[in-house]
Amino acid sequence: ATMPPLLSTIANAGRHGVLVKSAVALEKFGVVDVVAFDKTGTLTEGTPRVAEIEPVRSAGMSTERLLALAAAAERPSEHPLARAVVAAAHEHDVPVPHTEDFSSTPGRGVTALVDGVRVRVGSPALLADLPGASADQLAEARLSVTLLEEAGRTAVVVVADGAPVGVLALADRVRPGAREAVARLAAMTGRSPLLLTGDNERAARRLAEEVGIVDVRAGLLPDEKVAEVRALQEQGHRVLLVGDGVNDAPAMAAAELGVAMGRHGSDLALETADAVIVRDDLSTLPKVVGLSRRAHRVVK
């Protein structure tokens, strides 16, 4: 006996490395007309590395101490940048002190008490919120951030007791199939895909250029990613959002179709997504859109 067309199409998508969770989800693949990608962990591999460590000289903290404090504060976080910072401490044989009183703000960063020091690690936006810091230290930290971002890095700042003490530069690689997926999805939907990211504008534009995306919305907090999706929907679009579930699970839920990256995706994302890409290759995505469209022509 032959399988009903929708079921056989779901099985076929599975062979391409995309787990589609329901017939309804499969149908949505065929009708979306805008595709939006998250950056870190989605268009990139999501295993960034700390490429440079720049202490703020006038703060007088050693590179080792800077890395130790940052790694301790990041240890409880599941963010890909946090894992990279902890890995860097291990690579440099820097012992990581005990972490107390940890908390994280999605799209911003983390804070914790380390050896009695209040440590904050996160986006350069942190620098705008340090009223007690010296002007010299702030200027130095800002200059490091600008230079690193111009080089296409993601800059993360480290703050100790309200003073900027260093900047870490993180580098990530483009995921296989990203460029091909962007081009094919643009041709299929008639609209070039978007990039929605919490990362800085400069790093976002660099990456976008590499994969062929023109429409870049950077510096977005998780709620602002949701607002971008809703704005597109209000214009009558049906949005497919691809994310890794770290800081983008709410946007994934708001989209018609939420697709999660399976390898590095958070558990929450894997549960709430309509489909999961289980291979590290994004070129599977347009294939499933094509399968869905053909299945519907068969059924109708």
Kindly list the catalytic residues.
38
- Is residue 219 helix, strand or coil? coil
Q: Which is nearer to Mg ion, 27 or 281 (CB)?
A: 281
Judged by CB under 5 A, which of 45, 74, 149, 244 binds Mg ion? 244
Least CB distance to ligand ADP at residue 225 (A): 7
Residue 142 half-sphere exposure toward CB, CA atoms < 13 A? 12
Determine the size of the site formed for Mg ion (CB under 5 A): 5
**Site map (CB under 5 A) of Mg ion, residues 33-52, x = contact:** -----x-xx-----------
Q: Which is nearer to ligand ADP, 16 or 244 (CB)?
A: 244
Least CB distance to ligand ADP at residue 22 (A): 26
Question: Comparing C-alpha atoms, which of 128, 161, 162, 166 is closest to residue 145?
Answer: 166
Q: Which is nearer to ligand ADP, 13 or 81 (CB)?
A: 81
| Residue 266 binds Mg ion (CB under 5 A) | no
Which range touches Mg ion (CB under 5 A), out of 24-32, 94-102, 171-179, 238-246? 238-246
Residue 202 tokens, joined: 């400069």
| Residue 55 binds Mg ion (CB under 5 A) | no
**Site map (CB under 5 A) of Mg ion, residues 196-235, x = contact:** ----------------------------------------
Least CB distance to ligand ADP at residue 70 (A): 9
Q: What DSSP letter does each residue of 188-208 carry, written as one string? A: HHSS--EEE-SS-HHHHHHHH
Least CB distance to Mg ion at residue 43 (A): 9
Who contacts 175 (Cβ-Cβ below 8 Å, separation ≥6)?
A: 42, 43, 44, 45, 46, 280, 281, 282
Interface with ligand ADP (CB under 6 A): 38-41, 74, 77, 79, 81-82, 107-110, 121-123, 154, 156, 197-199, 246-247
- Residue 191's Cβ-count burial label (10 Å; 0-12, 13-18, 19+) is middle
286 binds, among Mg ion, ligand ADP, none (CB under 5 to 8 A by kind): none
Q: How far apart are CA 12 and CA 2, in angstroms?
A: 14
Q: Which is nearer to ligand ADP, 9 or 144 (CB)?
A: 144
Characterize 259-294 residue by residue with b for buried, 16 or more Cβ atoms within 10 angstroms of its Cβ, and e for exposed. bbbbbbbbeebeeebbbbbbebbbbbbbbbbebbee
Residue with token string 């589609």: 20
Q: Are 4 and 136 in contact (CB under 8 A)?
A: no
Q: Which is nearer to ligand ADP, 104 or 283 (CB)?
A: 104
Q: Dihedral of CA 22/24/30/35: which sign? A: negative
By the criterion CB under 5 A, which residues form the site for Mg ion? 38, 40-41, 244, 246
